Amino acid sequence: MKASTLIKVATKSIVKNKMRTLLTMLGIIIGVGAVIVMVAVGEGAQSQIEEQINNLGTNLIVITPGSSNQGGVSRGAGSFNRLTLEDAEKLERESLTLSGVSPVIMTRTQVVGGQGNWRSSIHGVSTSYPVVREWQVAAGLFFDQNDVRSQRKVALLGKTVADNLFPGEDPVGQQVRLRNVPFTVIGVMAEKGQTPEGNDQDDVILAPYTTVRNRLSGWSFIGQILASSFSPSDIPAAQEEIRLIMRESHDLSEWEEDDFTIRNQTDLAETASGTTEVMTLLLAAIASISLLVGGIGIMNIMLVSVTERTREIGIRMAIGARGYDVLTQFLVESIVMSLLGGLIGIGIGFAGASLLGRFTGWNTVVSPETVFIALIFSAGVGIFFGFYPARKAAALNPIDALRYE
């Protein structure tokens, strides 16, 4: 029997019992729609994390104190601090693969100024910080090398700080007090958004690292050093160069472990998106149960259909149809029902993902790969659960089938 004829006969049989066909396909429709919505939520979260990672700086390299493994014992980055300003200055002076280097001296304090006060993080950084972080100044100017050398009390506000201290006003030129030390606001940074951990990057005040160290923190060691390579392809070479310069700066022997940790943007992205990938797979697995239920429904209905059409099968075999033809006919009916249910489910999945994103504000992404896999999976369900009823129909004895009442 020709393929076109098989599809035509299968479609006629499906249309003949519209309500039963719709109820049979309902499990497939719900399953495919649920899988698409759940995967769209997971992929949307992952794309949002990747965007937040990119917001940190395209070619960002982060140097933190402490080794992830010292003396055979895992201690974790930040467990032992030997990072100094001299390390950052040596990196900036001797490196060939870095486009910028900035120490980051962090402290937190109450900020008073404008129309009230606000508790925020203070980051002491160098003039290379905007290059390393790819962070533009929205209003005013960034401080220069003379400000760093002379330890000038100047600061740039993140958008969150500016909005809370100077709502509806221009903060540039205004005064703020950090631990009773007056600072002049010389600029406002462009909006950055949240980090993958959910921290507000705009809730920060930037000032020369010399000023922050001597006027606010007084610490000899620094929290981290940020650097950036000229291009993503230079990151591995830049990391190795940083490692060699840092080991020399810390006077480490060949047998001694690194007392610092170097991470690049890929490492940060993998760490942040690992949980999201597991959650996406879990959600998809839960939603796939509906497909299993839908497949069982198709098998049950096809078994009923074989029983109802036993006499029809006998007549077909009596006039020359082979068992293979009967098997193919019922299998095609099962596949057509699954594919129709899959197509309807894809449409519902698209609509559901869009509505969910609109009402919840979540980022949802429906990729072509997800749609293709859902469609193939629904066809596979039709083949798998339709094969047994089709084989049962093909195995009927023509004489017994003709006598069936």
Q: What is the pLDDT of residue 77?
A: 45
Q: Yes or no: say if 361 and 273 are a contact pair by the CB < 8 Å rule.
A: no
Query: Which residues lie below 8 Å from residue 308, measured CB to CB, with a gap of 6+?
Result: none
> Looking at 30-39, 82-91, 182-191, which range is the least confident one?
30-39
pLDDT digits (tens, 9 = 90+) for 289-344: 767 777 777 777 777 777 666 666 677 677 666 777 777 777 777 788 788 888 88
pLDDT digits (tens, 9 = 90+) for 192-249: 877 656 678 899 999 999 999 988 877 767 889 999 888 888 888 999 999 999 999 9
Please indicate, yes or no, whether residues 95 and 233 belong to a single structural domain of this protein: yes
Could you list the residue range(s) of the whole structural domain that residue 364 is in? Answer: 3-52+270-403
Please indicate, yes or no, whether residues 244 and 275 belong to a single structural domain of this protein: no
Q: Is residue 63 assigned to a domain?
A: no
Please indicate, yes or no, whether residues 180 and 317 belong to a single structural domain of this protein: no
Torsional class of 221: left (φ above 0), alpha (ψ -120 to 50), beta (otherwise): beta
Say whether pLDDT at 73 is over 60.
Answer: no
Cα separation, 310 vs 330, whole angstroms: 12
Say whether pLDDT at 120 is over 80.
Answer: yes
Q: Yes or no: say if 262 and 63 are a contact pair by the CB < 8 Å rule.
A: yes
Please indicate, yes or no, whether residues 212 and 96 belong to a single structural domain of this protein: yes
Q: Is residue 213 assigned to a domain?
A: yes
Q: Is residue 389 assigned to a domain?
A: yes
pTM, full prediction:
0.59
Q: How many domains does the chain have?
A: 2
Please indicate, yes or no, whether residues 107 and 31 belong to a single structural domain of this protein: no
Please indicate, yes or no, whether residues 104 and 213 belong to a single structural domain of this protein: yes
Instruction: For strands 204-208 and 116-125, give the pairing.
Output: parallel
Say whether pLDDT at 401 is over 60.
Answer: no
Joined tokens for residue 91: 């990196």
Q: What is the pLDDT of residue 220?
A: 67
Please indicate, yes or no, whether residues 200 and 286 belong to a single structural domain of this protein: no
Please indicate, yes or no, whether residues 9 and 116 belong to a single structural domain of this protein: no
Confidence tier at 351 by pLDDT (50, 70, 90): confident
pLDDT digits (tens, 9 = 90+) for 260-299: 889 887 665 665 556 666 666 776 676 667 677 777 777 7
Please, what's the b/e burial string for 362-384 (b: 16 or more CB within 10 A of its CB; e: otherwise)? ebbbbeeebbeebbebbbebbee
Confidence tier at 49 by pLDDT (50, 70, 90): low
Joined tokens for residue 68: 């992830």
Give which of 108, 204, 216, 217 is closest to 163, Cα–Cα. Answer: 204
Q: What is the pLDDT of residue 65?
A: 87
> Looking at 98-107, 135-144, 195-204, which range is the least confident one?
195-204
Cα separation, 44 vs 53, whole angstroms: 14
Please indicate, yes or no, whether residues 98 and 236 belong to a single structural domain of this protein: yes
Query: Which residues lie below 8 Å from residue 373, measured CB to CB, with a gap of 6+?
Result: none
Please indicate, yes or no, whether residues 235 and 371 belong to a single structural domain of this protein: no
Give which of 319, 306, 321, 311 is closest to 391, Cα–Cα. Answer: 306
